[in-house]
Amino acid sequence: MNGTLYEPSNMCLDCHHIFSGQSYVDRDANGFHERHPTFDSERGSLNSIRQGEARGSTVPAHREGGSGSGFQGTNRVRPIVWQATGYLGARLVDADENAVFCLSCHRAHGSDQPFGLVFPASGGATAPGCDQCHLVANLPAP
């Protein structure tokens, strides 16, 4: 069996496939993501935080420096690290190697926040935890 089938994002996408995608999408303009790019090696979506920089949707310096409102009162969200071969490598903070996966921002079995978020959800798509990778004041329009 292909080892990538065990990847956490792929397990989530088996049922929640409408939430995957290449970019931020808010089709009904209610301020909530319908899709968020996710690391998904099974389908060839190997995005990194750095890749959003060209579109102005991510700010790699926030991720690498631990700066921005996203780090106030919340832990660093967990990334998948492409080249990691063990636990220490998986803790590397590098916007070129770090990729967001479903469990970066959501708990599989829920939390005290809407959508099972791991950080306070105030602000919808501009929630403070989003600022770990994004500039929340400058998210791209859908």
The 3 state secondary structure assigned to 78-128 is CCEECCCCCHHHHCCCCCCCEECCHHHHECCCCCCCHHHECCCCCCHHHCH
Long-range pairs for 121-128: beta carbons < 8 A, 24 or more residues apart: 124/30, 124/31, 124/32, 125/24, 125/26, 125/31, 125/32, 125/33, 126/31, 128/69, 128/70, 128/72, 128/73, 128/74
Q: 69 or 124: which carries more pLDDT confidence?
A: 69
| Per-residue pLDDT at 137 | 53
Question: Percent of the chain at pLDDT above 70?
Answer: 75
| Per-residue pLDDT at 65 | 92
Q: 58 or 31: which carries more pLDDT confidence?
A: 58
How confident is the prediction for the chain on average, in pLDDT?
Answer: 78
Question: What pTM, to 2 d.p., does this model score?
Answer: 0.77
Domain boundary assignment for the chain: 3-138
Average pLDDT on 49-62 reads 87
Task: Examine the pLDDT at 95 and tell me if it is beyond 90.
Answer: yes
Collect all residues with Cβ–Cβ distance below 8 Å to 84 and sequence separation of at least 6: 90, 92, 97
Residues 112 and 121: their CA atoms lie apart, in Å, by 10
Average pLDDT on 6-24 reads 68
42: amino acid identity, one letter: E
Collect all residues with Cβ–Cβ distance below 8 Å to 4 and sequence separation of at least 6: 10, 41, 42
| Per-residue pLDDT at 75 | 87
Length of the chain: 142
Task: Examine the pLDDT at 64 and tell me if it is beyond 90.
Answer: yes
| pLDDT-derived band at 21, boundaries 50, 70, 90 | low
70: amino acid identity, one letter: G
Q: 107 or 38: which carries more pLDDT confidence?
A: 107
